[in-house]
Amino acid sequence: MIARAANVGQRQETCDERADRLWLELMHELRVVLTAVQLLLAFLLAVAFTPAYGQLRHTDRALYLVCVLCGVGAMAALTGPVALHRLVTGLRLKTEMVAWASRLVAVGMTLLLAMTSFGLLVVLRQITSPGAALLLDTALALWCAACWLVPASLLRRRRSRTGPVQRPPTAAPAVPVREPGHPGHRARHQAPVS
């Protein structure tokens, strides 16, 4: 069982700190996803140069082509955040950059699912009947989508029922009081009262 702290969700961070944290989390997620895309895409690109590719039927070649195109699209979308970061670094657009990067990752994940589904369909059509291949492929694509979407949907629904996280009131930052004679003390000049 996972222990939960009493103050979960009560981070006190500035917008910049939140954007930095979300950016780092996104980069860690991308490391996992990009490895999968790289492996699948490398395999797919190599298939076209094997003797078995010449034996594929027209339908299977079309599926293979769509699969490769989805893979390249996924690779572009999932590396897009890095290019975005390089192009807008220093412009103070971190919050907007994180939002765009998150959208690119969602598109990349969708294309990864499509690439995996079409690639699996090509393989399944070689070892089973076309009808069975389509049925198995659809079931596995739905399973992948369920693994990716159902837990997040349940957690979001649970959050919407319990309401937003209540943040404790924050005290105003203490202003240091400096004694007269301290180098940082500024004397206030007041006009004499007449």
Three-state DSSP at 63 gives helix
pLDDT value at position 9? 55
Residue 139 pLDDT exceeds 60: yes
Q: For the chain, first and last CA: distance in Å?
A: 74
Q: Give the DSSP per-residue string, 123-163.
A: HHHHHS-HHHHHHHHHHHHHHHHHHHHHHHHHHHHHHHHH-
pLDDT more than 90, % of the chain: 43
Long-range contacts of 8-14 (CB under 8 A, 24+ apart): 9/165, 10/165, 10/167, 10/168, 12/167, 12/170
pLDDT value at position 166? 56
Q: What is the mean pLDDT of residues 55-68?
A: 93
Q: What is the mean pLDDT of residues 136-154?
A: 92
How high does pLDDT run on average in the chain?
A: 82
Per the CB < 8 A criterion, the answer to whether 87 and 43 are in contact is no
- Tell me how far apart the alpha carbons of residues 41 and 16 are, in angstroms, rounded to a whole number: 36
Residue 117 has phi, psi (to 5 degrees) of: -65, -45
State pTM to two decimals.
0.72
Residues in the chain: 194
pLDDT value at position 94? 87
Ranges 4-13, 68-77, 116-125, 150-159: which has the least confidence: 4-13
